[in-house]
Structure 1
């Protein structure tokens, strides 16, 4: 049951629900003038703090020390994986939030589904044609959802939002796949715990944030930004990422990995719902609802036509 497509799909969509909070809250922070650097770096600072408490309370101090030892013994790996999968990924998302509406960012972020295909192939995985075609169908559905209420904006602003998200879309699955491959190569108990992996990737991204701090003029974060980023850290950094990595670790085939990665498409649907409920946004028209339906059908196809094993 723990590696069945239905179970993995449910976990992936649950993580997408919590991930969607990131785009909305980051946009609120950007509208208030908060610097994107603090939106990113503070999230990971909070994440380290929260997960440290959780690991000590539920796993004990000895286990927490073993996680720190894992980081020190494999410093190079976690720095590279964390900087790519967490650092580059999230810094680009926060940067783009200053230039584009949340729904545009979420739409562009669906490129991660395509990026996952290339990343898996790069790591020597094989994907069946149904997985590839259904992942493309997911993107088509999400595109229709957003084209249903698309408005032409400033081209420069779109480029500043699209290009960073494209980079983030490739960085996120690449960093996650590095951890997946590492788990297969060696028997380390901490690699079987989702919170531990989030903790290690977060610490691993720290050198990148330090470099950015040294080269950017960032000023000081406001009290509102400190609070908003704390909410993002709990909802997305701790809850969503841990659920997502857990689901990915239970995937025992390339198609199931793609299924989990494809559930990020749910972020668009959840973001639209949250915008309608909390920000009084206009509900999607019939074309938008059609796009949502296409997305759900594509995920259904992924669930029932998984054949390949890693």
Structure 2
């Protein structure tokens, strides 16, 4: 359990770059869809390079064959778990600071047990009840944000993240379930490529590409600037490759529902890392009393949640 938690916290450090850099690109006038989609195009390049330099090119080719064999599954899992999730997270950065998005994103800790229940997995009711502490913390953060921005901006910043909070664990859980082959309605993906975190990220990234193509055709955003292209590359490395691989590694090391939930809730640390990043890099003002109280409740909920799950 401790190893899973440490890897998860390290992943949250790299994940926080998403919220900080997405907000920076939004303030510079970059369109949210390019901030979202370019990250995944960059990821394909970096993942291919990584597999090549680490001597896993053959495993990468095996992953491509696995993708072709189960094309529909990977498009669904990738579009929901990577596409819908990240499109909504990036869209929210247009309306609210990154640390607020990161705090609201912690609703995924409430969403994750519900997703597990939906897949027929056992989740301790005490742990689910404790997620309400995190929920209250998120509400307080957004109440403070509403005091400095309009209600409509606050809702546009919060509601998409709420949907994203369910999309991300749902997409990842689809892969987790398929790997174990216990659901008759899912393909059984018992393959060496599924044991490699980078290959799993590659498969989900490939699955998200049709969604990005459709969105780009429908919305037709203006061309991205050189700075936006560069910053999305940095997000792709830090969050898309390093953080996602670490997180999926932690999640797939889990041998029980309790360990799965522990890996999921380490993402709460993203709030702290994002707040620090925006304060030092973007010069944002620190949150007020309600904001700090909300962050404190979120972190308290995380600690209590993990303790309950560890005892179950």
Contact 1:85 1:172 in 2 (8 A): yes
Matched, 1:181 2:161: no
Tell which deviates more after alignment, 154-163 or 206-215.
154-163
Contact 1:89 1:169 in 2 (8 A): yes
**1:129 corresponds to which of 125, 128, 147:** 125
- SS of the equivalent of 1:205 reads helix
Which portions of structure 1, spanning 4 or more consecutive aligned residues, are displaced by more than 6 angstroms? none
**2:60 corresponds to which of 55, 58, 64:** 64
Matched, 1:93 2:89: yes
What TM-score does the superposition give when structure 1 sets the normalisation length? 0.90
Which residue of 1 is the match for residue 116 of structure 2? 120
Distance in 1 (alpha carbons) for counterparts of 2:53 and 2:146: 47
**2:51 corresponds to which of 55, 69, 82:** 55
- SS of the equivalent of 1:269 reads helix
What TM-score does the superposition give when structure 2 sets the normalisation length? 0.90
Matched, 1:205 2:208: yes
Distance in 2 (alpha carbons) for counterparts of 1:110 and 1:242: 19
Q: Where in structure 2 are the equivalents of 1:1-310 lying within 5 Å?
A: 4=1, 6-141=2-137, 143-144=139-140, 151-185=147-181, 186=188, 187-283=190-286, 291-306=294-309
Distance in 1 (alpha carbons) for counterparts of 2:140 and 2:267: 16
Once the two structures are TM-superposed, the CA of residue 264 in structure 1 deviates from its matched residue by 1.4
Once the two structures are TM-superposed, the CA of residue 99 in structure 1 deviates from its matched residue by 1.7
The Cα offsets for residues 275-304 of structure 1, whole Å up to 9 and x where unpaired, read as 233333444567655555544443333444
Contact 2:262 2:309 in 1 (8 A): no
Once the two structures are TM-superposed, the CA of residue 92 in structure 1 deviates from its matched residue by 0.9
Tell which deviates more after alignment, 113-122 or 76-85.
113-122
Change (3 A) 1:270 1:136: same
Tell which deviates more after alignment, 89-98 or 282-291.
282-291
Once the two structures are TM-superposed, the CA of residue 250 in structure 1 deviates from its matched residue by 1.2
Contact 1:11 1:243 in 2 (8 A): yes
CA RMSD of aligned residues (A): 2.2
Change (3 A) 1:11 1:146: farther
Which residue of 1 is the match for residue 184 of structure 2? none
Tell which deviates more after alignment, 151-160 or 44-53.
151-160
Unaligned runs of 5+ in 2: 182-187
Query: How many pairs align?
Result: 305
Distance in 1 (alpha carbons) for counterparts of 2:100 and 2:153: 11
